[in-house]
Chain A
Amino acid sequence: MNDLTPDRDERVANLKGMGCSRKRVEDVRFTQGKGNYVDDVKLPGMLHSDFVRSPYAHARIKSINIDAAMALDGVVAVLTAKDLEPLGLHWMPTLAGDKQMVLADGKVLFQGQEVAFVVAKDRYIAADAVELVEVEYEELPVIVDPFKSLESDVVLREDLDPTADGAHGPRKHHNHIFTWEVGDEKATNEVLDEAEVVAEDMFYYHRTHPCPLETCGSVASMDKVNGKLTLWGTFQAPHVVRTVASLLSGIEEHNIRVISPDIGGGFGNKVGVYPGYVCSIVASIVTGKPVKWIEDRMENLMSTAFARDYWMKGKISATKEGKITSVHCHVTADHGAFDACADPTKFPAGFMNICTGSYDIPVAYLGVDGVYTNKAPGGVSYRCSFRVTEAVYFIERMIEVLAIELNMDPAELRRINFIKKEQFPYKAALGWEYDSGDYHTAWDKALKAVDYDGLRAEQAQRVEDFKAGKTRKLMGIGLSFFTEIVGAGPVKNCDILGMGMFDSCEIRIHPTGSAIARLGTISQGQGHATTFAQILASEIGISADSITIEEGDTDTAPYGLGTYGSRSTPVAGAATAMAGRKIRAKAQMIAAYLLEVHDDDVEFDVDRFVVKGAPERFKTMKEIAYAAYNQAIPGVEPGLEAVSYYDPPNMTYPFGAYVCVMDIDVDTGVPDIRRFYALDDCGTRINPMVIEGQVHGGLTEALAVALGQEIAYDDMGNVKTGTLMDFFLPTAWETPNYETDYTVTPSPHHPIGAKGVGESPHVGGVPCFSNAVNDAFKAFGLRHTQMPHDHWRIWKTANGLGLHD
């Protein structure tokens, strides 16, 4: 033993630890079509299901007749609210402290709402039976505008006592949900009143949808013999689903096993608990057979998990020189028919109070009013951490409007207002403590990379050429600088339904020196099986290739709050490192014993412990693992295992600087993205390849949202964008190539300094694309035009500015 060891560099390379672009272990299965997604789950005797959904946005249900449907050959059951009521399951609690109908109880409140659940031998029969269920509706007045809702006599939620407080305090009107206030309004108003310069505007962040390529679904299997319920599904938080399922059904938690198999993208869509999950469970209990529910694309877009829909009215003040002195923001938040937002309990508008952005703003105020309308419930964080996209869009548009007011370059305006490096940890006016940042360095690097001054000169020339009739294309330069807040979160202020938002990792080292680690999170494409093994490899000195990562099975994985809000790396990643360190601590004792020295006389080196000052005397982790199981070591228990439940002391604050250059054809309204530069600082970088992939993906979703993707309703509450024909998903053809770059400012409180990255590009990307469109028309007097900037709206903007005359 101990002969001919590879040199240190080679040992580091073999480890495939943090910082290397390790190829993904998941891909071997996925590229061969051997993924196992929920619709691939097949069980003997399994039944299929489908929903009868409301064609109306607001109507009373006079009657439901299921006779014809039940008479159809192959139909096993048709469930309505009446069937669920005795079980107390016709309503369910939402993540936001409201409640939501599982199946329509007396009335429907949005188009596509679940009315009855048909269970049949196959999907075709279930779909036929849906057509045979006769529902008699009486139409009620429809409200799709939150401002009108607050003035309307029409009571949307008749189930709520209009005089009683809601989950987040007093309600002002029967269609009002909550008011949430942060900051000092009086002081903010005083500064605004006295200010040298004030800019104000109303920004509408339209309703959209995460639309992962795989829709939502579940398979429930109630084994009546042993009393165990197994539930497979598209769950971003499987452990939470188990707890909620237990509380709802009364089945003890140890008798419920929730499995998230491979998930075909989540982006926030798969955080919530949907009626389909509940109905599949009930149907399995009722029929004694496994029941599968898979939603189709239209159902997905119409009924599960919208995002955004924020009307943000802002005021910002500054000195004549451009130093920002205050910001005031009021949001009217359209939550649809039920408040099912997926936010930590104490934050009914998520982390919208990061809306002071990356700037040193002494005083600020945020007020949010949540409102019921006849739209689908949801309000999820679509590829962002709890309303951070809204906050960043708000401040990054506000800055641009202020720059117009000041007649100042928006890049310079940002620069003179950035929080300075030496101000971190920085306490923001709306309460957050930013952990670390170096904004000036990132900004300068970005502007230099794109030759910002050169771009502005080119743009000025283009405006001249346009005015001279030499071109019909305008050029827009979009800027954005964002600060994200991710990694929820400290249990002291972040919980969902009372469940603290820690996360976990459990590690077992096998006697021959390979390992398995299980986490409370679940990958939906982020590549956890690859990257968490890298963290662990660096911590415990076992090659990532010899470490299996498992998530998503509540029977085997330790409890955790799941994957959303970019919390996996900040929280579960930290748990992984901490559990790894426990392993290492025990390994050190074993190594010292084997080497016959004192514990303190050995030190960790890549994949082994060496005797200090005598590197030729060492024990590799493989040797230590074997000894841990097979050698009696005085005072040391056999085995090599560890578990860590990590409650982060603070959030992490990734940031970035983005620049987009766009040419817009004034006559067609078509934007052409000529260049997109994205600099991200996510702290310590675990796998650069995976980070880059996350950035590409997040930017493309940002492009979609900014340039056309929308869940639109007509006045009757009909969803106008319910298929992929109308709901914009960019193809390879519309999507540009992105240039990625980075700086590294580690998080001071995270064990490995990592901050999380999956959502940054979306958060920073949307304002960047939108700013580019707005910027293109700035020379012609445009201050602000609302998203989404589809071709038609861009054409209308050009037209409104007289550019077609």
Chain B
Amino acid sequence: MTDKMHVKLNVNGEDHEFLAEPRELLIYALREKLNLTGPHVGCETTHCGACTVTLDGKSVKSCTVFVAQANGAEITTIEGIGNPDNLHVLQEAFREHHGLQCGFCTPGMITRATKLLEENPNPTEEDVRFGMAGNICRCTGYQNIVKSVLAAASELNGAKEAAQ
């Protein structure tokens, strides 16, 4: 077995340091070492998006990144997006518009959607469908997910305008 590597990560604002095998996947480290079980495993082949996290400002499927590659990175998982007292607009919107059923895809969906709305604060329906196409949902048929994301976009924009 190869020597373990020393890895430092900042996850949801907290610093972590640990040893990991070079082959260890980021999703595994997040779920098993840091107990962040929000991101899920649906395929381990980059197809489903259940494992989506934000890594240094980009949406990334954490099943296809070695934790060693992420050394030094800043990572946000669903656990860092909102908290019970202060939910993210997207978290509210998914509930409001029935954008989830079994909930297994939801952490990845919402994590991806936060980035999508940063990249494009005024998406059309088509933009949302294209921008979320890396995240598979088996339950909802997407219609209400798209609705949720669009609703969150207009709410965020409304809040921005109000602030100006």
Interface residues of A (CB under 8 A from B): 23-24, 26-35, 37, 39-40, 42, 122-124, 211-215, 262-265, 267, 296-297, 524-527, 689-690, 692-701, 723-725, 729, 731-733, 735, 737-738
Q: A33-B77, A267-B138, A732-B128 are in contact. Are A213 and B107 (CB under 8 A)?
A: no
- Pair B107/A33 contact, Cβ less than 8 Å: yes
- Pair A27/B103 contact, Cβ less than 8 Å: yes
- Pair A735/B141 contact, Cβ less than 8 Å: yes
Q: Min CB distance, B81 to chain A, in Å? A: 8
Contact with A along B14-26 (1 / 0, CB 8 A): 0000000101100
- Pair B107/A212 contact, Cβ less than 8 Å: no
- Pair B137/A213 contact, Cβ less than 8 Å: yes
Q: How far apart are the CA atoms of A733 and B132 in the complex, in Å?
A: 8
For the complex, would chain B's binding face be called helix, strand, loop or mixed by DSSP majority?
Answer: loop
Q: A40-B37, A297-B42, A725-B45 are in contact. Are A30 and B100 (CB under 8 A)?
A: yes
25 cross-chain CB contacts under 8 A: A24-B95, A40-B31, A42-B35, A122-B32, A212-B102, A213-B102, A214-B104, A262-B103, A264-B103, A265-B102, A265-B139, A297-B43, A693-B144, A696-B144, A697-B141, A698-B141, A700-B142, A723-B45, A724-B136, A725-B45, A731-B134, A731-B136, A732-B132, A735-B142, A738-B141
- Cβ–Cβ < 8 Å partners of B128 in chain A: 732
Q: How far apart are the CA atoms of A214 and B37 in the complex, in Å?
A: 13
Q: How far apart are the CA atoms of A693 and B135 in the complex, in Å?
A: 18
Q: How far apart are the CA atoms of A701 and B130 in the complex, in Å?
A: 19
- Pair B78/A32 contact, Cβ less than 8 Å: yes
Q: Which of B67-75, B82-90, B155-163 contacts A (4 or more CB under 8 A)?
A: B82-90
Name B138's contact: one of A27, A29, A40, A701 (CB within 8 Å). Answer: A701
Q: Min CB distance, A735 to chain B, in Å? A: 5
For the complex, would chain A's binding face be called helix, strand, loop or mixed by DSSP majority?
Answer: loop
Q: How far apart are the CA atoms of A35 and B100 in the complex, in Å?
A: 12
Q: How far apart are the CA atoms of A707 and B27 in the complex, in Å?
A: 32
- Pair B140/A696 contact, Cβ less than 8 Å: yes
- Cβ–Cβ < 8 Å partners of B104 in chain A: 35, 37, 212-214, 264-265, 525
- Cβ–Cβ < 8 Å partners of A42 in chain B: 35
- Pair A32/B79 contact, Cβ less than 8 Å: yes
Interface residues of B (CB under 8 A from A): 21, 23-24, 28, 31-32, 35-45, 47-48, 50, 77-79, 82-84, 87, 90-91, 94-96, 98, 100-107, 110, 128-130, 132-146
- How many contacts between A and B, using CB within 8 angstroms? 178
- Pair B47/A732 contact, Cβ less than 8 Å: no
Q: Min CB distance, A291 to chain B, in Å? A: 16
Given contacts A31-B95, A723-B43, 18 further A-B contacts (CB under 8 A): A23-B95, A24-B95, A31-B82, A35-B103, A35-B104, A39-B37, A214-B40, A297-B42, A525-B101, A525-B104, A693-B144, A698-B141, A723-B45, A725-B47, A731-B134, A731-B136, A731-B142, A732-B145
Q: A23-B95, A124-B21 are in contact. Are A693 and B140 (CB under 8 A)?
A: yes
Q: Min CB distance, B5 to chain A, in Å? A: 14
Q: How far apart are the CA atoms of A264 and B137 in the complex, in Å?
A: 10
List the 6 shortest-distance A-B pairs measured between CB atoms, nearest first: A33-B38, A30-B103, A525-B102, A264-B104, A696-B141, A33-B78
